[in-house]
């Protein structure tokens, strides 16, 4: 890479693309609903494919509906540097989550085209199917498919709440491609994304080099007491599952606050039975989402949580059982790529800090098969997955400039390094 030529993006061009994409699936209140493989997703896919072709990229679609646009490189047989994210949104999502990373990749290609720059490695943009998991569960099916995390039959057989199958919807929207069009090899993977948290804005950093993704465990806790009439049953003689559950949630919250500042625990769901206004709850089922960058810390916290809730259950006269319903290890990203993110930030004069992502991203699964990393840009007030989601354009410009620098550096490297090959070689 010629370090004397510090390229910058055309922000108005990127803004124009996002202005178009923000109208696809737009809601009256200002949010977006572009669920995976919906009519709105199809409309966005069609536009995206046209944009890829207009940029001179060769387009293909694999059997999971992932869309690829390839810019050829000079080096025969070289594996591509891949830039990716997703087009789908939450049911009431924002206009930057996911699609910013995809369109940032397209802007990188436009800049290289503008300057007639040929890279040693090809550059490939990918939009992964169903990253959000809002329609088909679990999330990140497209990236998980090519990374081998999920079996093909499992992915294609996923159903939405109306019973529509993943493969049927791929065919309906015209994006059921071929397994032959999955990536055969990948040199490096890079993803730009909004932070979806408040740290960068609060600390006044326009860019973060993401070092990894926190590991995550979902636990389902079932508390069983005894249902009785709300009036005649004295308070001291009750076995109220909900009251004990409330204490458990409070103690879990207090525990993680003192264990480690990077540890989080969240209860997002509670179901009670019989759920009647004048009946003491006999059963409460609640979720606990535990996350930390180090698997050992997360494991220790989970053990302590289980001990605490067992003690609380015994003192409350109820029984408790726990079931781990999802467990995913922490991710450590490529230090080589991270070093370029820092170098690009320094070259442009941007403040940059390291960060661990608390949310899952396609880069999580891609890192299983190829050296990967992420770049974050700030989320105003930390808002995301909502209509208020916003990132300032000046921060977007800085983040994509760093992406451009990093991609160009990686794509121009000629020395041999370990690449991902689909055949395992």
Residue 192 — pLDDT band, cuts 50, 70, 90?
A: very high
pLDDT at residue 85 greater than cutoff 70: yes
Strands 207-213 and 331-332, by their bridges, are antiparallel
Provide mean pLDDT across the span 23-45: 97
pLDDT at residue 1 greater than cutoff 50: no
CB 141 within 8 A of CB 129: yes
Residue 29 — pLDDT band, cuts 50, 70, 90?
A: confident
- How far apart CA 333 and CA 336 sit, in angstroms, is 9
- How far apart CA 283 and CA 271 sit, in angstroms, is 8
Provide mean pLDDT across the span 300-313: 98
CB 64 within 8 A of CB 127: no
- The neighbour count for residue 388, using CB atoms within 10 Å, is 14
pLDDT at residue 416 greater than cutoff 90: no
Per-residue pLDDT tens for 262-288? Answer: 999 999 999 999 999 999 999 999 999
CA geometry: angle at 367 spanning 417 and 139, to 5°? 155
* Tokens read off for 333: 């990203």
| CA-closest candidate to residue 52, choices 125, 128, 142 | 125
Residue 340 — pLDDT band, cuts 50, 70, 90?
A: very high
The pLDDT, as a whole number, for residue 413 is 79
Binding-site residues for Zn(2+) sit at 86, 97, 132, 193, 385
- How far apart CA 373 and CA 274 sit, in angstroms, is 47
CB 407 within 8 A of CB 191: no
DSSP symbol at 180: G
The pLDDT, as a whole number, for residue 92 is 95
How far is C-alpha 413 from the chain's CA centre? 28
Residue 423 — pLDDT band, cuts 50, 70, 90?
A: low
How far is C-alpha 411 from the chain's CA centre? 24
* Tokens read off for 376: 């974050």
Binding-site residues sit at 86, 97, 132, 193, 385
- Contacts of residue 138, defined as CB under 8 A and 6 or more positions apart, other chains included, come to 144, 326
DSSP symbol at 291: E
- How far apart CA 39 and CA 309 sit, in angstroms, is 45
Does the pTM exceed 0.85?
A: yes
CB 376 within 8 A of CB 210: yes
- How far apart CA 353 and CA 358 sit, in angstroms, is 15
pLDDT at residue 211 greater than cutoff 70: yes
* Tokens read off for 293: 């960058």
């Amino acid at each position: 890479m010629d370090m004397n030529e510090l390229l910058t993006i055309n922000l108005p061009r990127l803004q124009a693309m996002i202005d178009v994409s923000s109208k696809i699936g737009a809601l009256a209140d200002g949010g977006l609903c572009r669920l995976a493989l919906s009519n709105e997703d199809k409309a966005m896919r069609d536009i995206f494919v046209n944009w890829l072709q207009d940029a001179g990229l060769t387009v293909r679609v694999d059997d999971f509906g992932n869309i690829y646009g390839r810019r050829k490189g000079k080096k025969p047989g070289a594996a591509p540097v891949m830039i990716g994210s997703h087009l789908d949104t939450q049911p009431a999502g924002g206009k930057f989550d996911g699609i910013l990373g995809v369109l940032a990749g397209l802007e990188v290609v436009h800049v290289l085209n503008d300057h007639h720059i040929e890279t040693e490695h090809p550059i490939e943009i990918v939009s992964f199917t169903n990253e959000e998991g809002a329609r088909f569960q679990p999330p990140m099916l497209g990236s998980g498919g090519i990374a081998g995390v999920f079996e093909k039959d499992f992915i294609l057989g996923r159903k939405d709440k109306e019973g529509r199958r993943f493969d049927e919807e791929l065919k309906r929207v015209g994006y059921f491609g071929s397994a032959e069009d999955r990536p055969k090899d990948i040199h490096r993977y890079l993803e730009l994304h909004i932070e979806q948290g408040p740290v960068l804005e609060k600390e006044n950093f326009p860019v973060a080099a993401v070092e990894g993704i926190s590991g995550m465990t979902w636990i389902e806790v079932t508390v069983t007491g005894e249902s009785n009439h709300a009036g005649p049953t004295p308070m001291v003689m009750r076995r109220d599952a909900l009251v004990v559950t409330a204490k458990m949630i409070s103690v879990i919250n207090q525990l993680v606050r003192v264990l480690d500042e990077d540890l989080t625990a969240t209860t997002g769901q509670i179901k009670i039975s019989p759920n009647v206004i004048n009946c003491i709850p006999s059963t409460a089922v609640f979720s606990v989402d535990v996350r930390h960058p180090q698997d050992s810390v997360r494991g220790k916290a989970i053990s302590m949580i289980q001990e605490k809730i067992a003690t609380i259950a015994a003192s409350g006269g109820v029984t408790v059982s726990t079931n781990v319903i999802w467990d995913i290890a922490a991710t450590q990203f490529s230090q080589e790529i991270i070093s370029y993110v820092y170098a690009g930030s320094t070259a442009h004069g941007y403040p940059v800090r390291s960060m661990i992502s608390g949310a899952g991203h396609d880069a999580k699964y891609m890192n299983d098969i190829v050296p990967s990393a992420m770049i974050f840009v700030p989320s105003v007030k930390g808002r995301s997955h909502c209509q208020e989601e916003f990132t300032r354009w000046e921060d977007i410009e800085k983040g994509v400039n760093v992406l451009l620098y990093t991609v160009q550096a990686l794509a121009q490297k000629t020395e041999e390094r370990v690449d991902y090959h689909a055949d395992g070689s």
